Structures are given as C-alpha cells and as structure tokens.
Amino acid sequence: MHRTTVYLPEDMKARLAVEAERRGLTESEIIRRAVEKELTRRMSGAGIITDPLPEGVSGRTVEEHLKGFGEQ
C-alpha cells in the first residue's frame, strides 16, 4: 500500500471518526472503500472520472427530454 495525505474539514473528520468507531473499522478502511466505490461507479459525464455513457443512455438533460411536453 501507498500512504496518501487527505485533508478533511474538521466536521468531516469528526464524523469519520464516529463512523469508524461505530462500524469497528479504521478510518483508512472507510476512506479506501469510499474511493473504490467512486472509482468503480459509472459516471455520466460528471465527477472526477468520466466514462462513456452506458448503452441506451442519451446524456440529454431533463429539460431536453421535457422540451415540447404538454404542447399541442
């Protein structure tokens, strides 16, 4: 493993400590799990990683989908 320094706001660090204690895990393990989850989820063009859109997803905004809705 490699050591990485992460700067957290005081309130987030406090919540992390409480959650680690509650789960019986180290703070590092919770952070590793959160990073893994972020790195493996499919993104739709937003966030720190941008994967291609999944098949069948248009990438259009809600406004684009609703354009003309209810008009005659």
Q: Would 30 be classed as within a structural domain? A: yes
Residues with Cβ < 8 Å from 8, sequence gap 6 or more?
Answer: 16
Q: Which helix (H) or strand (E) holds 28?
A: helix 27-40
pLDDT at res. 47: 55
Decide: pTM greater than 0.95. Answer: no
CA distances from 35 to 42, 62, 64 (A): 13, 28, 32
Q: Would 26 be classed as within a structural domain? A: yes
Question: pLDDT for 9-38, tens place per residue?
Answer: 999 999 999 999 999 999 999 999 999 888
Q: Would 43 be classed as within a structural domain? A: yes
Q: Would 22 be classed as within a structural domain? A: yes
Q: Give the domain range for residue 40.
A: 10-51+58-66
Q: For the chain, how many structural domains are there in total?
A: 1
pLDDT at res. 38: 83
Say what angle helices 27-40 and 10-23 make with each other, to 10 degrees: 100
Q: Would 21 be classed as within a structural domain? A: yes
